């Protein structure tokens, strides 16, 4: 048995019957060839999982490394990245080369291989905006497969790998196309204000990255000090009709327009309005600077955090008639 406490950013206790570190595609293929078929749980940085219980099968810790340029034109560069690379270190590497596209996704914890699972997003950009393809190995057959962006069926915090492909593949390599004459995207959130405050009127991608890091550090808890997995729930996308009814009752409700005439409402606002912000249930809490983040205040179990999440979902449903969807992968 191996303790998973330091392998998940919630810092909750769980035991893996066995843990194997995967450093190459060949090692994984050999493992799948030589062992009896059994369930596996793949872990990258453990920054988007909640262990309600211990996993039943072996944990495969993804540490496949490598960053290479696979294609380059005068305007674009396509890179292939080992799925076990750290996401933020990849972002910093692209910034060193002045390749644009990932700067708004600075400081997101975890590995490159987990990024396509929920199509990571922040500050108006999603992984899908630079993604061109990935390589994966099917765990049952040991077959290598290539997925295009279309195959991945990306949506808001969603992909094929969270639906029909859930738990079936080990993503080994991700391909992204970046811009050599980057344009900045500062339309979202507080980026503009942070740049203005620093007297930057012609921001570079490096400036945008620094602004994003600053904003994130001011409202999101650092898992090194407070256990968490970022947003616990997705922001709900409501039908126009349901939103209009809510807005009539709560005229101040923040909202953003989403595809298919739907309206996205910040779950953090709904949770805060229910009085949860800064509240605790035993050792589990609702973060006092960002109500969408559930935290381990010290010694919480996965079950305790899950019970708090259930209570929050119930009160949001009662007050607003909105059913929150969990974003974190619950084991
Ligand atoms: P893990 O937690 O290890 O795994 C997540 C899921 O993916 C699991 O189901 C796992 O089995 C599966 N998986 C992992 N690697 C592979 C692989 N190679 N092949 C197949 N399946 C795999 N997310 C955002 O989108 N935007 C944010 O702004 C954001 N901010 C965050 C802030 C904080 C403080 C924290 C703690 C988390 C935040 N997250 C955010 C969530 C998290 O960082 C991302 O989901 C990240 O991509 C998870 O990477 P990981 O390697 O830690 O994945
Ligand atoms: N809000 C509140 N109270 C709160 C928190 C938020 O009222 O306690 C309202 C405010 O109106 C605020 C709005 O919600 O303006 C949006 O808040 P914020 O900018 O903090 O973003 P978010 O919608 O809560 C999303 C992502 C984050 C991502 C940020 C920035 C989801 C589920 N979450 O959070 O992603 O970093 O936007 O783009 O979409 C993650 O997925 O783990 C994550 C952290």
Residue 202 Cα, ligand 1 centroid: separation in angstroms? 32
- Quote the CA–CA distance of 221 and 216 in Å, as a whole number: 9
**Do 33 and 90 belong to one domain?**
no
Phi first, then psi, for residue 41 (nearest 5°) are: -115, 125
CB-based contact 18:236 (threshold 8 Å): no
Rounded mean pLDDT, 78-86:
98
Q: Where is the domain boundary, 140, 157, 179?
A: 179
Of all ligands present, the nearest one to the C-alpha of 253 is 2
- Quote the CA–CA distance of 159 and 150 in Å, as a whole number: 10
Q: Tell me which residue range forms the domain holding 116.
A: 67-179
CB-based contact 26:306 (threshold 8 Å): no
Whether 158 is in a domain gets the answer yes
Structure tokens that stand for 119 in this block: 């199509």
Residue 73 Cα, ligand 1 centroid: separation in angstroms? 31
pLDDT band at 267; cut points 50, 70, 90: very high
User: Domain count of the chain?
Assistant: 3
| Burial status of residue 289 (CB atoms within 10 A of its CB: 0-12, 13-18, 19 or more) | exposed
Residue 21 is predicted with a pLDDT of 98
End-to-end Cα, the chain, rounded Å: 17
Residues ≥6 apart with Cβ < 8 Å to 298? 283
**Do 169 and 77 belong to one domain?**
yes
Residue ID of nearest Cα to ligand 1 atom 23: 120
Phi first, then psi, for residue 301 (nearest 5°) are: -95, 165
Whole-Å CA distances, 12 to 2, 86, 111, 140, 306? 13, 22, 20, 29, 11
pLDDT band at 35; cut points 50, 70, 90: confident
Q: Where is the domain boundary, 151, 179, 207?
A: 179
- Quote the CA–CA distance of 154 and 85 in Å, as a whole number: 21
Whether 192 is in a domain gets the answer no
Question: Is it the case that residue 264 has pLDDT exceeding 80?
Answer: yes
pLDDT band at 18; cut points 50, 70, 90: very high
- Quote the CA–CA distance of 181 and 277 in Å, as a whole number: 42
Rounded mean pLDDT, 91-102:
98
Question: Is it the case that residue 282 has pLDDT exceeding 90?
Answer: yes
Residue 260 is predicted with a pLDDT of 87
Rounded mean pLDDT, 150-177:
98
Whether 196 is in a domain gets the answer no
- Quote the CA–CA distance of 141 and 139 in Å, as a whole number: 6
Residue 152 is predicted with a pLDDT of 98
Residue 47 Cα, ligand 1 centroid: separation in angstroms? 5
Whether 21 is in a domain gets the answer yes
- Quote the CA–CA distance of 324 and 321 in Å, as a whole number: 10
**pLDDT, tens only, 237-257:** 999 999 999 999 999 999 998
**Do 53 and 91 belong to one domain?**
no
Structure tokens that stand for 39 in this block: 């369930």
Residue 189 is predicted with a pLDDT of 80
**Do 47 and 83 belong to one domain?**
no
Rounded mean pLDDT, 59-66:
98
**Do 103 and 22 belong to one domain?**
no
**Do 34 and 132 belong to one domain?**
no
Structure tokens that stand for 30 in this block: 């050999």
**Do 54 and 131 belong to one domain?**
no
Full-model pTM: 0.98
**Do 169 and 98 belong to one domain?**
yes
Question: 132 in helix, strand or coil?
Answer: strand
Structure tokens that stand for 105 in this block: 């996704």
Give percent of the chain above pLDDT 90.
97
Question: Is it the case that residue 191 has pLDDT exceeding 80?
Answer: yes
Question: Is it the case that residue 36 has pLDDT exceeding 90?
Answer: no
**Do 73 and 133 belong to one domain?**
yes
- Ligand 2 site, residue 137, Cβ cutoff 6 A: no
- Quote the CA–CA distance of 124 and 183 in Å, as a whole number: 14
Q: What is the CATH number of the domain that holds 73?
A: 3.30.465.10
pLDDT band at 16; cut points 50, 70, 90: very high
Phi first, then psi, for residue 218 (nearest 5°) are: -80, -20
Q: What is the CATH number of the domain that holds 296?
A: 3.90.78.10
**pLDDT, tens only, 194-227:** 999 999 999 999 999 999 999 999 999 999 999 9
Residue 154 is predicted with a pLDDT of 98
- Per residue, what are the HEC states of 208-238? HHHHHHHHHHHHCCCCCCCEEEEECECCCEE
Residue ID of nearest Cα to ligand 2 atom 13: 266
Whether 51 is in a domain gets the answer yes
pLDDT band at 289; cut points 50, 70, 90: very high
**Do 72 and 175 belong to one domain?**
yes
- Quote the CA–CA distance of 155 and 138 in Å, as a whole number: 22
**Do 79 and 52 belong to one domain?**
no
What atom in ligand 1 is closest to the CA of residue 172?
18
Tally of CB atoms within 10 A around 272 = 16
Residue 259 is predicted with a pLDDT of 87
- Ligand 2 site, residue 162, Cβ cutoff 6 A: no
**pLDDT, tens only, 252-263:** 999 998 888 999
- Quote the CA–CA distance of 269 and 32 in Å, as a whole number: 46
What atom in ligand 2 is closest to the CA of residue 230?
42
Whether 309 is in a domain gets the answer yes
| Pairing, β 15-16 against β 2-3 | antiparallel
């Amino acid at each position: 048995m191996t303790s998973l406490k330091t392998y998940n950013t919630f810092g909750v206790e769980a035991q893996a019957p066995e843990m194997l570190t995967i450093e190459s595609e060949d090692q994984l293929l050999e493992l799948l060839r030589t062992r009896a078929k059994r369930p596996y749980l793949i872990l990258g940085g453990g920054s988007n999982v909640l262990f309600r219980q211990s996993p039943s099968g072996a944990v495969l810790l993804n540490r496949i490394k490598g960053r290479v340029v696979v294609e380059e034109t005068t305007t674009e560069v396509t890179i292939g990245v080992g799925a076990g690379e750290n996401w933020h270190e990849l972002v910093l590497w692209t910034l060193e080369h002045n390749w644009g596209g990932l700067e708004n996704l600075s400081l997101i914890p975890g590995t490159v291989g987990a990024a396509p699972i929920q199509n990571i997003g922040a500050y108006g950009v999603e992984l899908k905006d630079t993604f061109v393809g990935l390589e994966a190995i099917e765990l049952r057959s040991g077959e290598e497969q290539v997925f295009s962006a279309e195959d991945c069926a990306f949506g808001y915090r969603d992909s094929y790998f969270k639906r029909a492909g859930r738990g079936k593949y080990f993503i080994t390599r991700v391909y992204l196309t970046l811009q050599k004459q980057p344009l900045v995207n500062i339309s979202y959130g507080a980026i503009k204000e942070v740049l203005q405050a620093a007297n930057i009127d012609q921001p570079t991608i490096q400036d945008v990255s620094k602004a994003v890091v600053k904003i994130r550090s001011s409202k999101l808890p650092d898992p090194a000090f407070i256990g968490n997995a970022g947003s616990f729930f997705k922001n709900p996308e409501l039908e126009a009709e349901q939103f209009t009814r809510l807005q009539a009752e709560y005229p101040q409700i923040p909202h953003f327009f989403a595809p298919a005439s739907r309206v996205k409402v910040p779950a953090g606002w709904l949770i805060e309005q229910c009085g949860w912000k800064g509240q605790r249930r035993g050792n589990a809490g609702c973060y006092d600077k960002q109500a969408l983040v559930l935290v381990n205040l010290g010694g919480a179990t996965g079950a305790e955090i899950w019970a708090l999440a259930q209570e929050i979902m119930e009160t949001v449903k009662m007050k607003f008639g909105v059913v929150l969807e969990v974003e974190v992968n619950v084991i």
